[in-house]
Structure 1
């Protein structure tokens, strides 16, 4: 698995696309948090990063599919997946190697944003007047959200040879999982379907962790979400071999 992980990560880091995606993510969050008056922290006047943690999931919906869309689609289009599949590697080793490579790239994109926390920490009055617990919880929520979206992107990339189709399918599934279930729950208000849909919503679990309270139910939800889509990827790849 390590060989696949290293190969995939170096392939991502050697492509201009990865740096463009990370640059767009950092530029978008930076402009919205510090320059645009409607969303600027300086205009808001409170030492908190709620704006960043509310914006990041919507950027993830587009940036993560852009990273993962090439994972299997490009391999199948160029015919190199046949060489990979004939190596002494299991399907799970191939899937997890690609999955962790994409996830590490998401971590690389989030690390520079720690300067936002440091800046707000120093700008607070008195200095350090920021809810660090909520910030840590929100970063953990972003990591789990990113991991969940990567599993969706890997699955979308495994079902087609076309990267654009993989991108579109991944964005659609991520949007439905994050926002769509919340919207559907309002249609079924005052019925037990509302509770079911809210419990299945990624947004609901993300908001729960962002409050700074780590609930094992939220962790189980994200782990289950990832395993479901990675399992579907395994079924697609295994079925194609047969």
Structure 2
């Protein structure tokens, strides 16, 4: 697993992909949060609060993460190296975890510079330090779990086709269904249970600053579910 993980990380940063992902994520967040006028602009918000960032980030990541993961297995299929990889003396689950963790680490690295937003808002508060640290840290934890689930969905989608664009579109669609799809259905049917099936419900719950084990179990279960589906899909490939 570690060999594949190392290979994935090296491949990300040996090409412009890794740097491009980090740059695009930070640039889009920076423009919407600090420069463009609108509901996401922190300076126009009037409060020392990072809720704009946590509303915006899931939407940027819903497209950015599939762009990272779409090549995980689809590229191996297209180049004909997947069969070779599967014949190596390494278990199928370790291959999946190596690919998954490689993409996950890249996205987490992309999130690290956003901690500067916390410091900036902390200093801009009146008085200085007028920032709800508990809620902010809870939202960051929620974002990490959300990223983990998005990445699992993206890696799974990359096993469905040898076409990276198809893998990208499939991943975006599934992520949208889980992030806002169930919430939309719940609004239409007034069903609390349906709302709780969506990522948005649990992400917002963690953003209140209280880490409920139900929210953590939800994200972990969703991530594990798609990792297992990825393994099952790969096991169907005839060598």
Give TM-score scaled by structure 2 length. Answer: 0.97
Which of residues 223, 230, 233 is equivalent to 1:233? Answer: 230
For residues 238 and 115 of structure 2, the distance between their equivalents in structure 1, rounded to whole angstroms, comes to: 43
Query: Which runs of 5 or more residues in structure 1 are unaligned?
Result: none
What residue is the counterpart of 2:30 in the other structure?
A: 30
Mapping of residues 17-96 of structure 1, within 5 Å: 17-38=17-38, 39-96=40-97
Range 36-45 or range 49-58, more displaced? 36-45
DSSP 3-state at the match of 1:158? coil
Which residue is 1:11 aligned to?
A: 11
Shift of the alpha carbon at 1:44? 1.3
SS of the counterpart of 1:130? Answer: coil
Gaps of 5+ in 2: none
Deviation of 1:241 after TM superposition, in Å, equals 3.5
Q: Paired residue for 1:113? A: 114
Give the number of equivalent residue pairs: 238
2:42 and 2:216 map into 1 onto residues whose CA distance is 30
Question: Which secondary structure state, in structure 2, belongs to the residue aligned with residue 241 of structure 1?
Answer: coil
Greater mean deviation of Cα atoms: 111-120 or 29-38:
29-38
- Residue 205 of structure 2, aligned match among 208, 211, 221: 208
Superposed displacement of residue 187, structure 1: 2.1
> 1-side partners of 2:119 and 2:37: how far apart?
21
- Post-superposition offset of 1:18: 2.4
What is the distance in 2 between the residues matched to 1:186 and 1:59?
23
Distance, in Å, in 2 between the alignment partners of 1:172 and 1:202 is: 14
Mapped to 1, the partners of 2:155 and 2:201 lie a distance apart of 23
Q: Hey, what's the Cα distance between the residues in 2 that align with 1:28 and 1:51?
A: 13
For residues 69-95 of structure 1, the C-alpha deviation after alignment (integer angstroms, 9 at most, x for no partner) is 000000110011122111110110000
1:79-228 → structure 2 map (5 Å cutoff): 79-189=80-190, 194-228=191-225
Write the distance in 2 (CA, Å) between the matches of 1:74 and 1:14. 16
For the residues of structure 2 that align with 1:241 and 1:100, how far apart are their CA atoms?
A: 25
Deviations 1:176-207 (A, max 9, x none): 00001111112212xxxx12211101000000
SS at match of 2:236: helix
**Structure 1 position 40, deviation (Å):** 1.8
Superposition deviation, residue 17 in structure 1: 2.2
Equivalent residue of 1:185, what SS?
Answer: helix
